[in-house]
Amino acid sequence: MLKDEKLKHLKGRLNNVTEEVVLKMLRDMLQRKEFEDVCKDEDCLLDMASYALNRLPAKYVATSKGEVYSKTEELEQQHSVDLLSVVTRAIKVVSENDNHDNH
Ligand SMILES: [Zn+2]
């Protein structure tokens, strides 16, 4: 019988590599001039990441941290075109529908 604590530990070792790749790509793309007026507060960033992640396949690996990064590079190379277009769309959709009150 697995205890809750053990489940929490297992969950902590499950990594969706796609999350790393999407966040890195978001950071890189938002530095571009064409996106300089896009809101980059935490809510918008999370909306963009969620939008992209819901449209990309999850890729889970159970590894130590160092290994995740090597898998990240692999994934970036394999799907860079898809990733780029989905992340670009995420930025556009979220920035066009940005209705937070705090900015
Ligand atoms: Zn915002």
**From first to last of its 103 residues, what are the pLDDT tens digits of the chain?**
789 999 998 888 888 989 999 999 999 999 999 999 999 999 999 999 999 999 998 988 887 665 666 667 776 666 677 889 999 999 999 999 877 665 5
Compute, in angstroms, the gap from residue 51 CA to the centroid of ligand 1.
14
Three-state helix/strand/coil letters over 7-66:
HHHHHHHEEEHHHHHHHHHHHHHCCCHHHCCCCCCHHHHHHHHHHHHCCCCCCEEECCHH
**Do 24 and 72 contact (CB within 8 A), yes or no?**
yes
User: Is the overall model pTM greater than 0.75, yes or no?
Assistant: yes
Residues less than 5 Å from ion ligand 1, measured at CB: 39, 41, 44, 98, 100
Compute, in angstroms, the gap from residue 40 CA to the centroid of ligand 1.
6
Compute, in angstroms, the gap from residue 65 CA to the centroid of ligand 1.
30
Q: What is the pLDDT of residue 95?
A: 94
